[in-house]
Amino acid sequence: MTQSAYHNKKVSVTKIFTFDSAHRLDDYIGKCANLHGHTYKLEVTIKGRTDHRGIVVDFGDIKSIVNERIIGPYDHRFLNDLMPFNTTAENMVVHFFELVDNHLKGIEDGNEAVLMRMRLWETPTAYAELTREDFDAS
């Protein structure tokens, strides 16, 4: 295939981040009602058409967006002081999706890169996920 054959193909790219935060769950009976912490893993998947170089969105750009909107404000912090909702993984993934999605929509560079999925791992075996389809349907 020639290089031009790789141009303008729809591709999804994913970047993974980790951050540490403490929280407690409100209106909950069990251990998680107490103050505790997690090393969260956040997966951010963006889909778009490859440009003339074969790039949908630069991984460095994804890193900058997530560091500015999520890691910087929430890493090593007490989440209950920062979020006006119960700090469940489900609520947090919706909030984080909105933060990144709004940022991407504000970029007018002609790129049609769209946030397609966000997965927030609370433990190595448990995560909450929000897809573009579910976000748009709500």
Domain ranges of the chain: 3-137
For residue 6 the two structure tokens come to 């790789």
- Amino acid sitting at position 17: F
Q: Could you say which of 7, 68, 76, 112 is catalytic?
A: 76
Told to judge if 76 belongs to the known catalytic residues of this protein, a careful annotator would answer: yes
Residue pair 98/85 in contact (Cβ under 8 Å)? The answer is no
List the catalytic residue out of 23, 32, 90, 103: 32
pLDDT score of 80 more than 60: yes
Quick one: pLDDT band at residue 4, thresholds 50, 70, 90? low
Class of domain 3-137: alpha beta
Are the C-beta atoms of 59 and 123 separated by less than 8 Å? no
Token digits of residue 15: 């970047």
Specify whether 32 is catalytic: yes
Mean pLDDT, all residues of the chain: 93
* pLDDT of the residue at 88: 98
Say what the pTM is: 0.93
What would the DSSP string read from start to end of 58-103? -HHHHHHHHIIIIIHHHTTEEGGGT-SS---HHHHHHHHHHHHHHH
